[in-house]
Structure 1
Amino acid sequence: MDHSALFTPFSVGRMRVKNRIGMSPMGTNSAFTNGRKDEQEVDYFIERAKGGTGVIFMGCQMLNAKVAQGSMEGYLDSFTVLPSLTSVCDGVHRYGAKIVCQISPGTGRNAFPDTFGNPPISSSDTPSVFDPSVKCHALTKDEIAGIMDGFRFAAGVARDAGYDAIEVHAHAGYLIDQFMSPVWNHRTDEYGGTPEGFARFPVEIVHAIKDTVGDALPVIFRISLDHRFPGGRTIEDSVALLKILEREGVDAFDVDAGCYESLDYIFPPSYLGESCMSYVCDAARKAVSVPLFTAGTLNPDDATRLVESGTVDFVNFGRALIADPYLPVKLQQGHPEDVRPCLRCNEYCIGRIWNSHTKLSCAVNPSAMEEVRFRVARTNSPKDVVVVGGGVAGMEAARVAAIEGHRVTLLEARDHLGGTAGDISSASFKLNIRKLVEWYRVQLDKYKVNVRLNHAVSADDPLLESADAIVVGTGAKPVAPKIPGLDGANVVPVLDFERETSRATGERVVVCGGGASGLDCALELTADLGKRVTVVEMLPECGKDVFFINKITLMRRLQEGGVELRTSNKVVSIDATGVTVELADGSREHLDADCVIDAFGMRPDTTLADAIDARYHDKTRVVGDVRRLGKIGDAIRDGFYAATSLDMDLYI
C-alpha cells in the first residue's frame, strides 16, 4: 500500500509537524523519586525521533509527588527537572520532530493499591478502583485551586524545557476524567451536576496553562470518548464536552476509547484486532473543527486510510514504535516489510510496569529503554557462528549476530522457520505473530544468514566442530501424561491443530488444558471455525499464565463464543466418544466430543542441547524454551543476549 499520505505536513496552532505520525503517550515507569527523568528515557525518545516520528507525546508527567500517588513518570513542580527535559527536547528537535509534554494532576481513584497512600484523591468520595473498600478523598475547592497553580507552574516548566505543545491527560478514568464523568462525579457544587459543571475542572486547567504560555504552545486534550462500561461516559456525552472545551481554547483533541473499568481498551491486546478504537473518530470530526489525533492498535495501512479519509489529521502509534522506532522512516522509504511488528502481547511493556514495578521494555525489541547499552555494534573480530534451531530465539540470535558482522549459519531440522511461534499463529487474532515470523525470514535473507532447512543436527556435526560459537535453540516438546486414550485417532495435539486446523473434525471439541495455549485454541475453534467447545482444566482457574489485561478480552470473547470452561476437572481417560473427567468431589463425568485437543502443556526438549553443550561447553549458549519455558519475548531476549555477547571473550 502507498503510505505517502502519512508523510505530509500539518499544523496544530503554531506547531507545524513534518508528518502525520505521532508516538502515543505511554509511561515508562523510569523517573527518579525526585521527579527527574532517567537518561535512558531520554535516549528512548530520541531514538523514536531519529526513526522518523513526526510528533512525540511523552507519557504523563504529574504535577507533584502528592497527586502522583506513587507514579514513576516524573514531576513538574521544580526547576531541577529541567536539565533532563531539555535534553530530551533538544535531542528530539535534532531530528526535526516535535515533542509534547503531557501533564496529569494524578491517577485519582485509579492509583495502584500498593502505592496510592490512604486514601487516593478524586472528584468525589467514590470507591478506589483496586480496593473498593477504600473511599477516595473528594478534593476541596482550595485543593482544586492548588492544582491550578500547579498547572501554571508546570506549563512554565514545559515551555522552558523546549516542548512544542502541552497535552492535558484527561483520559483512562484518571483524575480529570473523574471530574468529567457523572458515574464518578457526584458533586453538587459548580464542579458537577451539569455538562458545564463536569467540564469546569478541565476548562480551568486549560485556562491555567494558557495563562502561562498563551498561544506559544498549543494545548491538546486527550480524552476517551467512550468508556465502554455501563454507566460510563458515552460518545454522545463526550461530544458535548468536546464542544465546550474547543470553545474554551483547546487547540486539538487526542481521542480514543476505554478506561480502567474497560482496561483492555487502555492496553488493547491482540484479541481486540486491528484499529479497535477508530470507531469514535467520526463523531469527534463532526463535533469540532480543530485537529484530531487518534490511536488504538493501528497498523500502517489502517492509519493511512484514516488520514486519507480526513477522519483524523494525525495517527499515533504506541507499542508499534516501542517495537520498531524506525517504523516511520521504513514506511517513508517504501520498505514496510522491514517494520518489526508489535505482538500486542503486553508482556514486556505494561506487563513489566504493572507486575514488576520496573521500567518498560519490549517483547520483540530488547533494546527498548536500553538504546545505548544494548545498541548492536559491528564487531572487529568476526566469528563463525552456528545457530541450531529456527524458532524465534534462534532467528533473533542469527539476525543480530549477522548485523554485528559475524558469519552465521542457521540449521533447522524442519522445512521452514518459525518454531513454535510459527506453529501457533494460524488464528485470526495472531496475525502479528505470523508477521513477526515472516519479518525474521526477510531479515535473515537481507543480512545473508546461511539458512539450511531440513538439516537435522547431531552433536558430532562437523559444522559444530568448526564453529567459533554455537547457539542452541531447539525449543520444547509436548508433555505426555499417562492418560488412557491420549493416543487415540480422535485426539489432536494442539500444535498439530495449529499447523492444520482441519484436523479438528466434527462440531463438538473438548480442549484438555486451560492454560494460554488451550484457551487460544478454544477461541480459534469457536471464533474462526464455529465449533462448540469445552475447555477442561484441572486447576481451579483457567488462564493462570495469561497476563491479566489480555485475559479480560480473552475471557469475554470465549464467553461470547459460548465456550464452556470447566475448572477443577481432571482428565482421567479419553475414548472415541469424548473425555471422562474427575470432578473436585471425586465423582466422574463423561463429556461428549467429536474431537479432543491435547493442550496439556510443553516441556524443554534438552536432548540435543545437552549433547552439544557436553561436547562444546566453552563455545555453546543455550537459548529459548530449551533453556526455560517462556513467552515469545523471553525467547527473543535470550537470542539477543546470546548474539550481543559473542565478543565477551576478547581482551581489549
Structure 2
Amino acid sequence: MQVATVNSIGLSNDPLLKPFAIKGVTFRNRIMSTSHACGLESDGMPVERYQRYHEEKAKGGLALTMFGGSSNVSPDSPNVFRQLNVGNDAIVAHLQSFSARIHQHDTRLMCQITHLGRRGEFWASNWLPTIGPSPLREPLHRNFPKEMDRHDIDRVVKDFGDAAWRCKEGGIDGIEVMAASHLIGQFMSPSTNRRTDSFGGSLENRCRFARMVLEEVRRRVGDDFLVGIRHTVDEGTDGWLTFDESLAAIHLLERDGLLDFVNAIYGRMDTDVALTTHNMPGMASPIAPWLERVGSFKREIGVPVFHAARISDIATARHAIRDGLLDMVAMTRAHIADPYIVRKLEAGAEHSIRPCVGATQCQSPLRPACIHNPSSGREATLPHQIERSAQAGKKVVVIGGGPAGLEAARVSASRGHRVVLFEAGPKLGGQILLASRSGWRRDLIGIVDWRAQELERLEVSVRLDTYADDEDVLREDPDVVVIATGGTPDMEWIPGADRCTSVWDVLSGNVQLKSDVVIYDGTGRNPAAQVAEMAALAGSKVRFFSSDGFLAQELPYAERVIWKKRFYEHAISPVFDVELTEVSNAGGRLAGSFFNIYTGDVQVIEAEQFIIEHGTLPFDSLYHELREYSSNDGVTSLNELLAGKQQPNGTGAGKFQLHRIGDAVASRNIHAAILDAARLCGAL
C-alpha cells in the first residue's frame, strides 16, 4: 500500500480513529458496519463464506461489524430475504467460531435480532400466518397479518429472550433488537397499531411490547452484555410515528435502564418507495441525507447513537464524529466497496480508498456484490488484497479502457506484471462515460476515476487516442493480450433499424433529440430510461415501449423505484409486453410496428425519431485478427477461470495468450465486466 502524506488533521487527532467504549466493551475506532442480510448464509446459519465476508472488514481495521440483518427469533418470522435463524440452538456453534474469527483482529461483533411481524410472507419458510399488532396489510410484502393475542405476545417475548441468550452463548459482544417497521416498531407506530387494549392507544401502551421484549432480553443476558435497539427517529409521514414520539419512546426505555445504544434510522420500509428513499437511499439521494436529523435526536438522549444511510466518504464520516452528531459512524455499503477503509486511513492513504458510488447492486438478489468490487462475497476465491505473482514480470497488453480493461490493467499490474493499455478514445471509461454524463447516475464516474488513479500509481503505460491494430499489439511482444474493446449498439436486429437512433448517440450528444420521440427498450437496463428522462427534460413528446413486463426489469429494485418515480414526474406512460418488429418511412416521419406478445395484436406508432436500446454486439475484430498469433487460439478455459487458476497456454505456435472479457464477449453489465477481468488477471 502506498502511504500518502498525512492530512491536515493528523492521524493522532483524527476523530474517526479515537477509541470509544460502552460499558466494558471498547471499540478501537469510531467506524462500523451495520447489520444487513448479505445473502451468504446456508440454511439460516452464518457459515464459512458468511464469516469470511465479515472477517475481511475486521482485517481492514473496522471497530465493529454487525451481522444478521433481520435475524429471525420465531418460526412465524419467515426467511424472506436470506436472514439468519437465531431461533435455533444450532446457531450457537456457528456464532462461537464467528466471534473467535472476528475477535482475533480486535474487532467487535454484534447481531441484529427481530421478528418481522407483518413484513413476513405467509408462503415463506413454514407457511405460517404473519402476525402483527393489528390486521393491517403491508404493501411491500403483501400480507394480511393475524392480530396477535396475549399468547402470541408472550410467546414472541420469550423467543426474543432465547435468541439473545444464544447470541451471548455464541461469544459475540452484543445485540441490537430491530424495532423500526418490524414487529416492535409496528406496535410503536400509531399507523400500524390500532389496538384498544393495554398494547394500543397511548404511546406508553404502544411501547409496552418493546419494554417486555427488552426486559426479557436483559433477564436472559444480564447487564454486561450490550443491548441496543435499531429505531427510527421519525417515520417521515403524517399519521405515523413522529420525531417527538420516537424520542419519547426512547426516553421510556432509557428510564427503565434497558438500552446501551440506539442505532438510528429514518423513515419507513413498508413500500418500495419508502424503503429506497428513506432507509437505504441510493445514488439519486444526497450524501448522508438523515445525518443532521439523527444528530438532533442524539442531543436529546443519554445513550450512544449509531447511524448508517449513505455515509460513503471519509469527510462526511469525520464530520459526524467531530461535530458530535454520532458516537459511531456506520459506513456499511462503503465497506462492501472497500473493506480496508480504516487501514488505509491509518496509513495516511485516504485517497486510495475504493469509493462507494451509491449503486444498489449490493441490495439486489446479487448481494453483497458491489458494482465495482468483485471480491465482496467471494473472499475465498477472489482476495481483496492482490498478491504479487510468482511469475511477475510478464508483458500484458490490454485493449480498451472501459471498466473491464481498467480492471484488467489494475489487477495485472498489482500482480507485478508490465502493463500497457490502449484506448481508442481521448478518455478512459467506456460506456460509463455515457452513463454518468447527466442525472442521478453521475457518481458512476468514481469507478473510472479510482482505477485511473490506481493505474498511475502502478505505473501502467496508458495510451489514449490510440486505435490499436494487430501490428501495434505484436510490436509490444506481449505474453498476454486481453481484449476489452466492449461492444457497439445492436442496430441490425429488425428491418428498418438503420432509420433509428441508438441510445448511445443520444447519450453522447452525437445526435440531437427531436420534438416527438419513441423510445424502445429491449434490455430493461438503464440507458433507455436515461434517454427518456433526457428527452422529457428537453421538452420532447416521449412515448416509451418495452418488451419487458415492467420498467427497468433487469435492474436492482432500488434503481427501478428511481426510474418509476422519474417517469411519473415527467408524465411518461410506458407500454410493456410489446416487441418492435419493423420501422419504416411514413411521409417524412417514421412508423414503428409493435407486436403485443400476449394478444398478438400489432399497433403502428408514428414519430419523428425512434431511439432504440437492444444491448450491444461484441466489438471483437481485433480479437479475431490476433487469434492465429496466439498460443491458445483465444480460448479462455472456464474451469481454470472459475477455480482461480492460471490459464493453459494451449497448443498454438504463438507466444502469447489471448483472452477477451466484458462486452467484447457478450452484452452484460459493469459488475460482470469487472469480474471477468479480476478472475482472469488475478491468476496471471
> If the length of structure 2 is used for normalisation, what is the TM-score?
0.83
Structure 2 CA distance for partners of 1:313 and 1:406, relative to 1, 3 Å: same
Match of residue 310, structure 2, among 297, 307, 310: 297
Distance in 1 of aligned mates of 2:307 and 2:262: 8
1:474 paired to 2:485: yes
Give matches, 1:14-25, under 5 Å: 14-25=24-35
Give matches, 1:81-92, under 5 Å: 81-92=91-102
CA contact (8 A) 2:131 2:146 kept: yes
Give the C-alpha shift of residue 497 in structure 1.
4.2
Give the C-alpha shift of residue 577 in structure 1.
9.0
Aligned residue number for residue 321 of structure 2: 307
| AA partner of residue 510 (structure 1) | V
| AA partner of residue 137 (structure 1) | K
Match of residue 546, structure 1, among 538, 544, 555: 555
> If the length of structure 1 is used for normalisation, what is the TM-score?
0.86
Aligned residue number for residue 156 of structure 1: 165
Per-residue displacement from partner, 1:621-652 (whole Å, max 9, x unpaired)?
22101212111111111111111233xxxxxx
Q: Counterpart of 2:168 in 1: which secondary structure?
A: helix
CA contact (8 A) 1:14 1:218 kept: no
Aligned residue number for residue 263 of structure 1: 275
1:624 paired to 2:667: no
CA contact (8 A) 1:410 1:450 kept: yes
Q: Counterpart of 1:372 in 2: which secondary structure?
A: coil
Match of residue 364, structure 1, among 352, 369, 372: 372
CA contact (8 A) 2:136 2:144 kept: yes
| AA partner of residue 168 (structure 1) | V
CA contact (8 A) 1:70 1:116 kept: no
Distance in 1 of aligned mates of 2:342 and 2:534: 32
Match of residue 204, structure 1, among 207, 212, 217: 212
Match of residue 327, structure 1, among 341, 345, 352: 341
Aligned residue number for residue 528 of structure 2: 518
Distance in 2 of aligned mates of 1:535 and 1:362: 33
Q: Counterpart of 2:58 in 1: which secondary structure?
A: helix
Match of residue 297, structure 2, among 281, 284, 290: 284
Match of residue 182, structure 1, among 173, 190, 195: 190
CA contact (8 A) 1:10 1:17 kept: yes
Give the C-alpha shift of residue 391 in structure 1.
1.0
Moved more, 271-280 or 549-558: 271-280
Aligned residue number for residue 356 of structure 1: none
Match of residue 11, structure 1, among 21, 28, 31: 21
Give the C-alpha shift of residue 57 in structure 1.
1.3
Give the C-alpha shift of residue 113 in structure 1.
4.9
Structure 2 CA distance for partners of 1:328 and 1:562, relative to 1, 3 Å: farther
Aligned residue number for residue 605 of structure 1: 619
Give the C-alpha shift of residue 237 in structure 1.
3.8
Structure 2 CA distance for partners of 1:237 and 1:497, relative to 1, 3 Å: farther
Per-residue displacement from partner, 1:118-150 (whole Å, max 9, x unpaired)?
422333333364664x53233332232232223
Give matches, 1:563-642, under 5 Å: 563=572, 565=574, 572=583, 590-591=606-607, 599=613, 601-613=615-627, 615-616=629-630, 617=633, 618=650, 619-642=657-680
| AA partner of residue 41 (structure 2) | A
Per-residue displacement from partner, 1:169-226 (whole Å, max 9, x unpaired)?
113x222222222332233322222211221111112212222333312322112334
Distance in 2 of aligned mates of 1:334 and 1:465: 37
Q: Counterpart of 2:373 in 1: which secondary structure?
A: coil
Distance in 2 of aligned mates of 1:61 and 1:575: 57
Distance in 2 of aligned mates of 1:229 and 1:109: 19
CA contact (8 A) 2:32 2:331 kept: yes
Q: Counterpart of 1:259 in 2: which secondary structure?
A: coil
Aligned residue number for residue 447 of structure 1: 458
1:419 paired to 2:426: no
Structure 2 CA distance for partners of 1:486 and 1:628, relative to 1, 3 Å: closer
Distance in 2 of aligned mates of 1:234 and 1:531: 40
Give matches, 1:531-542, under 5 Å: 531=539, 534-539=542-547, 541-542=550-551
Distance in 2 of aligned mates of 1:113 and 1:224: 28
1:49 paired to 2:58: yes
Structure 2 CA distance for partners of 1:60 and 1:609, relative to 1, 3 Å: same
Aligned residue number for residue 96 of structure 1: 106
Structure 2 CA distance for partners of 1:23 and 1:131, relative to 1, 3 Å: closer
| AA partner of residue 60 (structure 2) | G
CA contact (8 A) 1:509 1:531 kept: no
1:388 paired to 2:402: no
Moved more, 182-191 or 390-399: 182-191
Q: Counterpart of 2:29 in 1: which secondary structure?
A: coil
| AA partner of residue 569 (structure 2) | E
Give the C-alpha shift of residue 308 in structure 1.
3.0
Q: Counterpart of 1:260 in 2: which secondary structure?
A: coil
CA contact (8 A) 1:513 1:536 kept: yes
1:138 paired to 2:150: no
Sequence identity percentage: 25
Structure 2 CA distance for partners of 1:115 and 1:464, relative to 1, 3 Å: farther
| AA partner of residue 523 (structure 1) | E
Structure 2 CA distance for partners of 1:582 and 1:324, relative to 1, 3 Å: same
Give the C-alpha shift of residue 389 in structure 1.
1.3
Match of residue 447, structure 2, among 421, 436, 452: 436
Aligned residue number for residue 132 of structure 2: 122
CA contact (8 A) 1:532 1:563 kept: no
| AA partner of residue 28 (structure 1) | C
| AA partner of residue 68 (structure 2) | G
Q: Counterpart of 2:229 in 1: which secondary structure?
A: strand
Distance in 1 of aligned mates of 2:376 and 2:155: 37
Give the C-alpha shift of residue 428 in structure 1.
4.2
Moved more, 368-377 or 461-470: 461-470
Moved more, 246-255 or 570-579: 570-579
RMSD: 3.2
Distance in 1 of aligned mates of 2:379 and 2:49: 7
Q: Counterpart of 2:165 in 1: which secondary structure?
A: helix
Q: Structure 1: where are the runs of 5+ without partners?
A: 354-358, 647-652
Give the C-alpha shift of residue 612 in structure 1.
2.9
Distance in 1 of aligned mates of 2:247 and 2:401: 51
Give the C-alpha shift of residue 160 in structure 1.
3.2
| AA partner of residue 289 (structure 1) | G
CA contact (8 A) 2:73 2:163 kept: no
Aligned residue number for residue 650 of structure 1: none
Moved more, 545-554 or 571-580: 571-580
CA contact (8 A) 1:536 1:569 kept: no
Distance in 2 of aligned mates of 1:612 and 1:115: 53
Q: Counterpart of 2:482 in 1: which secondary structure?
A: strand
CA contact (8 A) 1:256 1:280 kept: no
Q: Counterpart of 1:438 in 2: which secondary structure?
A: helix
CA contact (8 A) 1:235 1:283 kept: no
Aligned length, in residue pairs: 628
CA contact (8 A) 2:76 2:126 kept: no
Distance in 2 of aligned mates of 1:427 and 1:390: 21
Q: Counterpart of 1:220 in 2: which secondary structure?
A: strand
Structure 2 CA distance for partners of 1:7 and 1:498, relative to 1, 3 Å: farther
| AA partner of residue 416 (structure 1) | K
Q: Counterpart of 2:265 in 1: which secondary structure?
A: strand
Q: Counterpart of 1:271 in 2: which secondary structure?
A: coil
| AA partner of residue 397 (structure 2) | V
Aligned residue number for residue 317 of structure 1: 331
Give the C-alpha shift of residue 412 in structure 1.
1.7
